[in-house]
Chains A and B, each alone.
Chain A
């Protein structure tokens, strides 16, 4: 297939116009023309509500929406009726925390970790307060990875769910899923992965991963905002009660009772984000056509340049794994004497878009003893000029702020 970084970047209109070094893809990625075209084509030729009317336009809309579900399922190597469309990762995890969570008993245990994004932390605290479950957090190692050696101590026979990030939005560390699944299976617990940061960096084989729930957002993987996915094993979805009641999630409604629709529609009450789902379908088709070994090599080469360059700035410290092993191209760092927001503001003057702050991971910041970090999060469209601009800007920011 081959891989041409320049040609690939040119597929992103916002980047192709030049003048921007976008290194904030961990927050939101940009859209390729193929996705923009798919959304525009749907809205201008097939816009109608789905799973309702029988006219041709409605048929076309339903076909596009359900086609997107099939595309996503293929990308994840799972069955399409296990794909629940949500508004994003946060909504997907909340569905599990409310629905699967309501099946738990007081004293049952849920294990998260100290590295989690608030989206995979707060819903479980809310469940704890609602249902009386016990919430435990896996500790971290010195280099900002999950301390999987602690699994044996933290995961007890009362554990019903281990909910962890697949890849940290702060440190870029990728979780060793096999160890987690093994620890969960030993006590009959389920495993949920927050895949928001992992999905933009290559196709996944959820069947091979062996987890039970997987959540991610479209907008971090070159698709529109407002669409995300909860994947869960069908037996689990069938056992779980629906979260929202309303249209589209029913089979029959009488004055006395309602019979739910089959999965996944049981979890998709109301008119769904149809065009956004179509955009997500286009995004995964576009991603599936890429030469991923080449894309990954490109991302990792730039990440190494970034790690080396930051390492040469006096007072700078990488927060997280120092090398490329088991990481995504997300790099956080601390620059002594300079606040992340001040760094980001100055870098904006160099046309470099970065993120600074706690990254919705305050328990991790507490562990690190930092108010926040500065983060460069790369995607497949980044290039050497982006890294050059970042490192040049950082030199300037360090000189100005310290």
Chain B
């Protein structure tokens, strides 16, 4: 039952390189109080769009993969795409589909059956929302 969480797509994303940004528009660190996992997310805004996302995760494979999907998906999109990403994730975690450009979030479909692990996937999106709020101020 647990093995489906650790399919190749998630592990590849989790093991992929994580990179911080040198001069981000905003940078936030959030903790998961349950497990102590920590996500640092950087965003760089240019001309009203997200130019780059950096991330560093001290956390589990699910959390690492989620941050990596954000970093791979978001650049080139307007900040509103972050909200769409959160909605797409919620949809996937409730058995639905993820709309473009967030189709890759479908790799987290098995997490639907592991309630205690859903926050692991959500934590990078929490960080993203906070980073965008910080960038606006």
Contact = CB atoms under 8 A, between A and B. Distances in A.
A349 B1 contact: yes
Nearest to B120: A341
B76 to A, nearest CB: 30
Interface in A353-375: 356-358, 362, 365, 371-372
Given A342-B60, A345-B5, A401 B38 contact: no
A357 B6 contact: no
Q: How large is the interface on B (under 10, 10 to 19, 20 to 34, 35 or more residues)?
A: 10 to 19
A242 to B, nearest CB: 32
Contacts of A342: 6, 60-62
Interface stretch (B29-37, B45-53, B66-74, B94-102): B29-37
Contacts of B35: 340-341, 356-358, 371-372
Interface in B36-89: 36-38, 58-62
Nearest to B38: A371
Given A339-B61, A400-B11, A362 B36 contact: yes
B22 interface: no
B30 to A, nearest CB: 14
A347 B37 CA distance: 20
Interface residues of A, number: 18
A400 B6 contact: yes
A124 B21 CA distance: 40
Contacts of A23: none
Contact of B37 (A346, A348, A349, A371): A371
B59 A339 contact: yes
Contacts of A341: 35, 37, 60, 62, 117, 120
Contacts of A339: 37, 59-61
A240 to B, nearest CB: 32
B1 A371 contact: no
B6 A401 contact: yes
A356 B34 CA distance: 10
A346 B6 contact: yes
Contacts, number: 51
B137 interface: no
A47 B69 CA distance: 56
B114 interface: yes
A356 B35 CA distance: 8
A358 B3 contact: no
Contact of B59 (A365, A371, A400): A371
Contact of A345 (B2, B34, B58): B2
Contact of B2 (A349, A362, A365): A349
A371 B56 CA distance: 13
User: Most A CB atoms within 10 A — which of B35, B114, B117?
Assistant: B35
A154 to B, nearest CB: 26
Nearest to A400: B6
Contacts of A400: 6, 11
B61 A357 contact: no
A108 to B, nearest CB: 31
Interface string A117-151: 00000000000000000000000000000000000
A319 to B, nearest CB: 14
Given A400-B6, A401-B11, A345 B38 contact: no
Nearest to A359: B36
Contacts of B60: 339-342
Interface of A: 339-342, 345-349, 356-358, 362, 365, 371-372, 400-401
10 contacts: A339-B60, A345-B2, A348-B1, A348-B2, A349-B2, A365-B36, A371-B36, A371-B37, A372-B36, A400-B6
Given A342-B6, A348-B1, A362-B36, 11 more contacts: A339-B59, A339-B60, A339-B61, A340-B60, A341-B62, A341-B117, A357-B35, A357-B36, A371-B36, A371-B59, A401-B61
The 6 closest A-B pairs by CB, nearest first: A349-B2, A339-B60, A358-B36, A357-B35, A341-B60, A345-B2
